[in-house]
Amino acid sequence: MTKTVQTRAGAAPASGAHVYVRPSAAPAAAADPGTVGPADARPLSAALLERLSELEEGTPEYAYVRNTLVELNLSLVRFAALRFANRSEPMEDIVQVGTVGLIKAINRFDVSRGVEFASFALPTVIGEIKRYFRDSSWSVRVPRRLQELRIDLAKAMDVLEQELGHRPTTPELSDYLHVSEAEVIEGELASNGYSAQSLDTAAGDDEDSGTGVARRLGAEDPAYDLVENVSALRPLIAGLDERDRLILSLRFCDELTQSEIGERLGVSQMHVSRLLHRILGTLREALVDEPA
């Protein structure tokens, strides 16, 4: 069995196979992962997970083996997704979200613990889907294109963080998804409409930590009202100067606090707050001034 796995992994493309892309060809001796039945998928998954633990993250072989594991266990994702079939979301979207959970389970699985992978992965997949439904009550109307971009960004963030060993930057996300940096920022701004804070959620360290948002009258996120017009933001963001785009990226893509941004730029948190208000005010005014 081990020899078969190494043969499959050794057939990995020489460069850049991504975890979401089915390999264009596999050795003739190995079955297509999509056609392997559950009874055969379990021992094959166990062998592949063992092999994965021996490989270096970020290599083409590692990506190929992990991709094969995803393909082998998609039936597990579909099984979990069926529990939510009565929801209004398309089943395809639920499966996509569940696949993110599957990838997380593969990344976190420890073969030395002797636990069956399906038993470990199923709660992670279901948890990811539940989190999606818990957070997916869009507080404002966001275009379908941006809803899909948000899902793609979440997947890319997880894959790149594993491959690069750090939280991916806006340029790295842009390159991976083949979209502009402005679109990455646009998608992150759209996420504000996807996971809007509860009014009772404690604020971060830059916004009176420990108090609910509802108590900070007049202090809500200044980007909130921009979400409604997020589809028009891309050309406006592209027109900002380099530092303003960097500040937006650090705040909404890298999710840094104002204090952390200040440390990066060598300025105070208060100065970052003023800069953000100015940048977002500029975008807001530009949206208002746009011809209908």
Chain position carrying tokens 């279901």? 126
Q: Which residue, 288, 219, 221, is CA-closest to 248?
A: 221
- Tell me, yes or no, whether 38 lies in a domain: yes
Specify whether 43 is located in the same domain as 160. Answer: no
Specify whether 171 is located in the same domain as 253. Answer: yes
Res 150: pLDDT: 78
Percent of the chain with pLDDT over 70: 63
Specify whether 148 is located in the same domain as 281. Answer: yes
Residue-wise pLDDT for 257-289, tens only, equals: 888 888 888 888 889 888 988 888 887 777 655
Q: Which band of pLDDT confidence, cut at 50, 70 and 90, is reported for residue 128? A: confident
State mean pLDDT over 136-145: 56
- Residue 252's contacts (CB-CB under 8 Å, 6 or more residues apart) are 185, 188, 189, 191, 192, 223
Res 3: pLDDT: 37
Res 199: pLDDT: 31
Specify whether 159 is located in the same domain as 61. Answer: no
Q: Report how far residue 150's alpha carbon sits from residue 186's, in angstroms, rounded to the nearest whole number.
A: 9
- Residue 237's contacts (CB-CB under 8 Å, 6 or more residues apart) are 182, 185, 186, 245, 248, 283
DSSP 8-state class, residue 23: -
- Tell me, yes or no, whether 91 lies in a domain: no
Specify whether 67 is located in the same domain as 143. Answer: no
CA 83, chain centre distance (Å): 23
Residue-wise pLDDT for 214-258, tens only, equals: 333 233 344 444 444 445 566 778 788 888 888 888 877 666 788
- Tell me, yes or no, whether 85 lies in a domain: no
Decide which of 72, 95, 113 is a domain's last residue.
72
Asked whether 242 and 203 are in contact (CB, 8 A), the reply is: no
Specify whether 46 is located in the same domain as 162. Answer: no
Asked whether 93 and 121 are in contact (CB, 8 A), the reply is: no
- Tell me, yes or no, whether 210 lies in a domain: yes
If you average pLDDT over every residue of the chain, what do you get?
71
Specify whether 168 is located in the same domain as 284. Answer: yes
- Tell me, yes or no, whether 64 lies in a domain: yes
Specify whether 155 is located in the same domain as 39. Answer: no
Res 73: pLDDT: 92
Residue-wise pLDDT for 39-80, tens only, equals: 677 889 999 999 999 998 888 898 899 999 999 999 999 998
- Tell me, yes or no, whether 20 lies in a domain: yes
Decide which of 72, 92, 121 is a domain's last residue.
72
- Tell me, yes or no, whether 111 lies in a domain: no
- Tell me, yes or no, whether 141 lies in a domain: yes
State mean pLDDT over 196-216: 37
Residue-wise pLDDT for 17-43, tens only, equals: 433 333 333 333 344 555 565 667 788
Q: Is the pLDDT of residue 156 over 60?
A: yes
Specify whether 153 is located in the same domain as 282. Answer: yes
Please give the residue range of the domain that contains residue 279.
137-292
Decide which of 72, 96, 120 is a domain's last residue.
72
Specify whether 277 is located in the same domain as 185. Answer: yes
Specify whether 151 is located in the same domain as 287. Answer: yes
The domain tally of the chain equals: 2
Q: Which band of pLDDT confidence, cut at 50, 70 and 90, is reported for residue 106? A: very high
Q: Is the pLDDT of residue 144 over 50?
A: yes
Specify whether 276 is located in the same domain as 191. Answer: yes
Q: Report how far residue 51's alpha carbon sits from residue 101's, in angstroms, rounded to the nearest whole number.
A: 21
